[in-house]
Structure 1
Amino acid sequence: MIKNVTIIGSGVMGSGIAQSFAIHGYSVVLNDLTEEYLIRAENRIKENLELLVEEGVLTSTGKQKAVQAITYKTDLSEAIQAADFIIEAIPEVIEMKWDLYRKIENLKKADTIVASNTSTFPITKLVEHASFAQKMVITHFFNPGHLVPLVEIVKHEQTEGEVIEATLELMRSIGKSPVLLNKEISGFIANRLQTALMREAFFLLKEGIASAEDIDTAITAGPGFRWAFTGPIEIADFGGLDTWQRVFENVAPDLDQSITAPEVITDLVAENKLGTKIGEGIFKYEASTVSEKLNERDRYFIQLGKIKNKGEMTR
């Protein structure tokens, strides 16, 4: 039975994942290289929890229990010695991940499950320098990890069936909606779908079909509005497969077929205009505006989560 969870890496994703487990009663250790990183993560978690209290999702008592459920450690051995489940959420540098796996293989318990939050690397690549392939999976959380329900689970051909089932059940126990990939594929499911959409969005922007604001609105007020509750496969059924056959035949030939990053993105990256982290990307941002927008986004996600949860309970 999984009771103790360790998250290695206390960045935005790692801290959000730690918070998800703490809220649902698990004993959590959050590990990182320095006290400075961990203090920053602790402050972020407390702010996130307070927002949940303000939105009526969590009580003050629940917030306090979640805060107390998380221990912060810089010592890797201490962090994982009692762990039943470890999630690696360190930067997407394969050498760093391999080095970490080599370190933990002699420190963890023999039956501990090890998961990676990678969104980049296939599990066959991850296990090249790990001796515990049978106990390893990918658990790809989506940002913000404490609010978005999706977790994509990828198994290795050596991963034990019991490990897969335990991982699925663990994710469900913290309110997530896990999906299991039957085959390994780059980008998994959601990022492949997102990339296809983003490619076309930036093509429309480059061609001057509409402004960036209007392209975004076309999604948030249209497909995105219904995608929260109805996926693309079911939408095809609802719309009629004969109708969608004609849509594909009429529209697909004119869609962008690029296999490289959109020119708009490439040009802005070359100018170091990286988005909110810099203060300018497609749009320009003031520092205070970014914080306000993130706070507003999270409130919307919380409200959407409440609606979805209510709907699932009444089905």
Structure 2
Amino acid sequence: MCKLTEISIITILGSGKMGRSIASFFSEKGIYTILYDPFEEALGLAKSELTEHSKVTFTTDLKEAVSNADLIIESAPENLEIKKNLYQEITPYLKSNVIVASNTSTYPLLVLSKGQSFKNRMLIVHFFNPADLVPLVEIVKQDDTEEGIVENVKDFLSHCGKVPVVLQKDIKGFIANRLQSALLREACYLLKEGVADAASIDTVVKESIGLRWALNGPFEITDYGGLDIWAKVLNNLLPFLDNSITVPDIIAEKVAHNKIGVKTGEGFFNYECNISNQEILKQRKLLKSVLDIKKS
């Protein structure tokens, strides 16, 4: 059971994949959760997935969704105009002490909070997919964030079983996505240069560094290997790593042809039409197994 007196009602704005999984997580922890979406069809899908979650209330009424919330987590599409408009729409209905957070993976807090009446009570709380399983939540604050808010949210998330990390700087992409992007850029470069095919590159990650990263971070691994050794490795390799600043051509071309992955049946690999649910269930089971091993 997860409960702190300061946060007893949570509202999630947006019932997409992330919104649904965030709602699932909190409701499983016994927190009364309101899931809002302006579209009945989207909300219907959320209801079908969360039928066993008695702590979730579904609504298309924005005032009803936010009026009594202690913590609001915006999980709208990654479109700045949509997010900004949503903030303006909720403003008249907010409690004076509400905490407003965004689950964005793209926009800096400075950009999102600009001009908002709740600017000094706004954070980024960046969950990872699937949010009901992956422990990490990145928290981003500003210099003028109201005292006590970060500590309150951090403690609340910790009590709920998450592993919150507070960034000391509002930087685009935060930590995890910057690290992921750097790896993906180099993987695309290796693929483009014909060093190996996509399956082989994935195998290298899964059967080596991926296993190590489940237990140790890059600085721990560097310490174990020896900074003197890594200094030589970096000196030899860094001049030859990809340093492009645009989307890799191989990704841009696939997106242009709507080959965007599991959703369309083809991305870097081909997928059967029924792969989505099966693969998602398989990945969830494997991820849960890894997390159980880490906890033991």
TM range (shorter): over 0.9
Q: How does 1:185-196 map to 2 (within 5 A)?
A: 185-196=171-182
SS of corresponding position for 1:6: strand
SS of corresponding position for 1:178: strand
Equivalent in 21, 34, 51 of residue 26 of structure 2: 21
More helix, by proportion:
1
Q: How does 1:17-56 map to 2 (within 5 A)?
A: 17-46=22-51
In structure 1, what is the equivalent of residue 3 of structure 2? none
In structure 2, what is the equivalent of residue 114 of structure 1? 100
Q: Distance in 2 between matches of 1:195 and 1:302?
A: 24
In the alignment, structure 1 residue 218 sits paired with structure 2 residue 204: yes
Moved more, 12-21 or 35-44: 35-44
Q: Gaps spanning 5+ residues in structure 1: where?
A: 47-63, 311-315
Q: 1:256-285: per-residue Cα shift (whole Å, max 9, x none)?
A: 111111111111122221111111111111
Equivalent in 81, 89, 92 of residue 95 of structure 1: 81
Q: Distance in 1 between matches of 2:70 and 2:284?
A: 30
Q: Distance in 1 between matches of 2:216 and 2:47?
A: 36
Q: 1:204-241: per-residue Cα shift (whole Å, max 9, x none)?
A: 11111111111001001111111011000111011111
> How much does 1:93 deviate?
1.1
Q: Distance in 2 between matches of 1:80 and 1:220?
A: 42
Amino acid at match of 1:5: I
Equivalent in 42, 45, 59 of residue 73 of structure 1: 59
In structure 1, what is the equivalent of residue 292 of structure 2? 306
Q: How does 1:109-258 map to 2 (within 5 A)?
A: 109-258=95-244
SS of corresponding position for 1:279: coil
Q: Distance in 2 between matches of 1:176 and 1:287?
A: 34
In the alignment, structure 1 residue 273 sits paired with structure 2 residue 259: yes
> How much does 1:116 deviate?
0.3
SS of corresponding position for 2:92: coil
Per chain length, whose mean CA-contact separation is higher, i.e. which structure has more relative contact order (CA < 8 Å, sep 6+)?
1
SS of corresponding position for 1:129: coil
In structure 2, what is the equivalent of residue 6 of structure 1? 11
Stretches (4+) displaced over 4 A: none
* Mapped contact 1:4–1:28 kept (Cα < 8 A): yes
TM-score, normalisation: structure 2: 0.95
* Mapped contact 1:133–1:156 kept (Cα < 8 A): no
Computed over aligned residues only, the root mean square deviation of the Cα atoms, in angstroms, reads: 1.2
Q: Gaps spanning 5+ residues in structure 2: where?
A: 1-5
* Mapped contact 2:260–2:266 kept (Cα < 8 A): yes
* Mapped contact 2:262–2:275 kept (Cα < 8 A): no
Identity value in percent? 47
Q: 1:87-142: per-residue Cα shift (whole Å, max 9, x none)?
A: 00001111111111112122011001000001111111111231111110000111
> How much does 1:309 deviate?
2.4
SS of corresponding position for 2:50: helix
Q: Distance in 2 between matches of 1:229 and 1:128?
A: 38
